[in-house]
Amino acid sequence: MNAIEQVFRSAGVSGRLHVADIDGGAEVAVGADEPVVLASVFKVPLVVELHRQADLGLLDLAERVRVPAEDRTPGPTGLSAMLDGAVLSLRDLAYLMMAVSDNTAADAVLARVGLGAVNAMLAGLGLPGTRVEHDCRGLFARMLADAGVSDMAALAEASTDPAVVARLRVLSPAHTNRGTPREMTRLLGMIWRDEAASPGSCAAIRRLMGLQVWPHRLSSGFPFDDVAVSGKTGTLATLRNEVGVVEYPDGGRYAVAVFTRSHGTAQNQPRADAAVGSAARIAIDHLRARTTAHI
């Protein structure tokens, strides 16, 4: 068994991974073309489409959006956790959605850019396996219906029950926001090479991904002050995902997509979180060893 699968196994998860050198063809793939559930990783295509629409003049990133107190999508962070009505610019909503995975901010952005536009953009970029089916609110509505509970606190507890987990359609790629590890690293490559939108917009997206606060997944695999890690996590019931880019001081930059599904149903899975970083590290070490060997 290879070292990456060993990491997944000892963390009690099954995992899919694609790691690619952004400036060359080298890659490491483990189930990289399998459809996977994106969970909050869908916020990456969303932030790309937001900036493309700004490039086209369809919207102004400084445009103000009212987020009333009574109309919040559930979630543990950002506007989802705040109590009072707020007015924020589109780009600050994008910041909250990327830095702390704010679901209310994501739904407000998606309402502005449109689900169809996100999917058209994905098709246009040549990512046919990546699709956004619903916003966060729509996803939760599906989960509540499948779990047979009426509020989010009950859902969090019900989701540790294996019988409920088996019924959740949002854990099957066919029924929810989906992609493949390889298509995610391709999208990241386009963002880092200024191909996904205008160079200014790509820089803005890279800035947002670099501001993500979570230290426990991808970032945990690279405990080096001189290595930059940008990313977007995805968390849902048994799923622990992250896609991102790791940049070394010698200019080496690597797009990473790791999607895991735990065998257990516990909500707190620190080993699964860490496995995302460890698996990415093994893949990148492998690519870097290869590169230096060839130089």
Partner 1 sequence: MSNTDIVLAMFRLRISFLLMDLVRHLAYFVAVAEELHFGNAAARLGMAQPPLSQRVKRLEEELGVRLFDRSSRQVALTEAGRLLLPEAREIVLRVERLRDLVGGAADGAGTTVRAAVPSDLGGAVLAALIAGFRARCPGVRLSLAEMGTAAQAAALLDGGLDVGVLRHPVTASGLGFGPVLVQHPGVLLPEGDELASWSAVHLADLAGRALVLFPRESEPGLHDETLATCRRHGFAPVEVSPAANAGFALGLVLSGTAVALGPPAGVPGTVWRPLAGAPIAWRCSTAWRGEPGPHVGDFTAVAVRVLREDAGMADDAAAPARRVAPRPATGFLA
Q: What is the DSSP string of 163-218?
A: HHHHH-GGGSGGGSSEE-HHHHHHHHHHHHTT-SS-HHHHHHHHHHHHT----SSG
Residues 6+ apart with CB under 8 A from 142: 134, 169, 170, 175, 176
CB of 13 to partner 1, least distance (A): 9
By rule CB under 8 A, what string of x and - marks binding of each residue 211-230 to partner 1?
Answer: ---x-x--------------
Lookup: tokens for 78: 């950002």
Which range binds partner 1 by CB under 8 A, 22-30, 88-96, 160-168, 245-253? 160-168
Which range binds partner 1 by CB under 8 A, 62-70, 110-118, 136-144, 248-256? 136-144
From 160, 194, 210, 228, residue interacting with partner 1 (rule: CB under 8 A)? 160
In 3D, which of 224, 222, 236 has the Cα closest to residue 276?
Answer: 222
> What's the burial of 59, exposed, middle or buried (CB within 10 Å: 0-12/13-18/19+)?
middle
Cα(218)–Cα(229) distance, integer angstroms: 8
Q: Which lies closer to partner 1 via its Cβ, residue 78 or residue 252?
A: 78
Could you say whether residue 111 binds partner 1 (CB under 8 A)?
A: no
Cα(110)–Cα(168) distance, integer angstroms: 23
Within 17-76, the residues that bind partner 1 by CB under 8 A are: 34-35, 39-40, 74-76
| 3-class SS of residue 132 | coil
From 201, 220, 233, 260, residue interacting with partner 1 (rule: CB under 8 A)? 233
From 26, 77, 194, 227, residue interacting with partner 1 (rule: CB under 8 A)? 77
Within 252-291, the residues that bind partner 1 by CB under 8 A are: 261-269, 273
From 63, 71, 157, 195, residue interacting with partner 1 (rule: CB under 8 A)? 157
Cα(202)–Cα(13) distance, integer angstroms: 33
Binding residues (CB under 8 A) for partner 1: these are: 12, 34-35, 39-40, 74-77, 81, 100-101, 103, 128-129, 136, 139-140, 143, 152-153, 155-157, 159-163, 165-166, 168, 171-174, 214, 216, 233-238, 261-269, 273
